[in-house]
Amino acid sequence: MEAPRLRLRLPFLLLVALVVSPPANGWPPVAAAARRMRIEPLPTAALRRLYDTSNYGKLQLNNGLALTPQMGWNSWNFFACNINEAVIRDTADALVSTGLADLGYNYVNIDDCWSNVKRGKGDQLLPDPKTFPSGIKALADYVHGKGLKLGIYSDAGIFTCQVRPGSLYHEKDDAAIFASWGVDYLKYDNCYNLGIKPKDRGQDDPALWAGKVGNSWRTTDDIQDTWKSMTDIADKNNKWASYAGPGGWNDPDMLEVGNGGMTFAEYRAHFSIWSLMKAPLLIGCDVRNMTKETMEILSNKEVIQVNQDPLGVQGRRILGQGKNGCQEVWAGPLSGNRLAVALWNRCAESANITVKLPSVGLDGSSPYSVRDLWKHETLSENVVGTFGAQVDVHDCKMYIFTPAVTVASS
């Protein structure tokens, strides 16, 4: 039986420029522009009220990274501690060969259990000689050769959650060695923290503080491959929507799509809501052996484009209907005066979910073109006032509403 994963709540991710101070010759143009970037003002009072971004940017790192949520793969959800350098290399190969890399999944992230159980000479971190005999630098070079980026894992305590060496009291040395290996991304956990008070560590509610040290931060406990875990986590992450934006993202944990614990409809809902919430899209299944259905979900370009939209406003739960409010409407603004809308049926039976357009911030008297992102077709060029659809049990339908182009009569 695997040892329990002892995360002591709310780790955060540092998507990493290990040195964030400006270089001697100033920031390059892209990074300089990113440092000035903030969410564009939403065009109407209704949108500003529903999709509040008032807390975004208060403590933003502004290091030029993560202008959209990070995408990639992480080893933990499927492999846990059963990882080795061959798995990482093969996964990098699979991301490329399946076309997922071309869709933006470009981080290959090694989670816990990569390191030796003890530090080496001079207290230096060492890779496990049995599972990573070639070393992390060689692995980074391989991943970079595929046009991808390598991520690694450490911990803010004396041990990682699986009792490998943590970085507490070794922060600068560990950061330096990660940089020397060519690591692009650091996931930083929070186990075995010696009971240091949260106010000294910033453990509680990272959305309130982590933006000045990292580019994304966990807002929830670890996800499990179950409907209950996924839905509970979505609700918890929704609370922090006003803190997210270009350069800093709320992270409700990695994707479980394809791991077998949920139905196709539930995984489709999982991917839809994570995309709408501007969550990092980190695949958690074995991409070397995916089913056609898993690939269909993970490769949906139109849903990915919602996640990667440059406006960077986190979508959120707008209303619930029916018994216990289980017929839900989630929505979020996109660039170009568009709106993404998800009709999510969390009920135990199919349901017709209807939304009045003003309730999601749209003009109820103006026409909208409606695009179905799972059917990949435009349903109507002239929706006015109200829109609805039949949604199967635990499924989610996702649309983009675009102001219709009207042509003046001659």
End-to-end CA distance of the chain: 75
148: which residues sit within 8 A by CB, 6+ positions away? Answer: 72, 92, 95, 96, 101, 106, 107, 108
Distance (Å, rounded) from C-alpha 250 to C-alpha 245?
A: 9
Distances (CA, A) of 208 to 3, 69, 117, 213: 31, 18, 33, 11
Please, are residues 388 and 261 in contact by the beta-carbon 8 Å criterion?
Answer: no
Place of tokens 């692995």: 139
SS3 41: coil
Backbone angles phi, psi at 299, to 5 degrees: -105, 10
Distances (CA, A) of 354 to 342, 345, 365, 391, 405: 11, 11, 17, 10, 24
141, 173, 205, 222: the active-site residue: 222
Backbone angles phi, psi at 181, to 5 degrees: -80, -10
Q: Work out the number of other CB atoms within 10 angstroms of the CB of residue 180.
A: 12
Q: Is 93 labeled as catalytic in the residue annotation?
A: no
Complete DSSP assignment for 289-339: G--HHHHHHHT-HHHHHHHT-TT-PPPEEEEEESGGG-EEEEEEEETTTEE
Q: Work out the number of other CB atoms within 10 angstroms of the CB of residue 109.
A: 26
Q: Work out the number of other CB atoms within 10 angstroms of the CB of residue 87.
A: 17
Q: Is 222 labeled as catalytic in the residue annotation?
A: yes
189, 253, 286, 395: the active-site residue: 189
* Catalytic positions: 189, 222
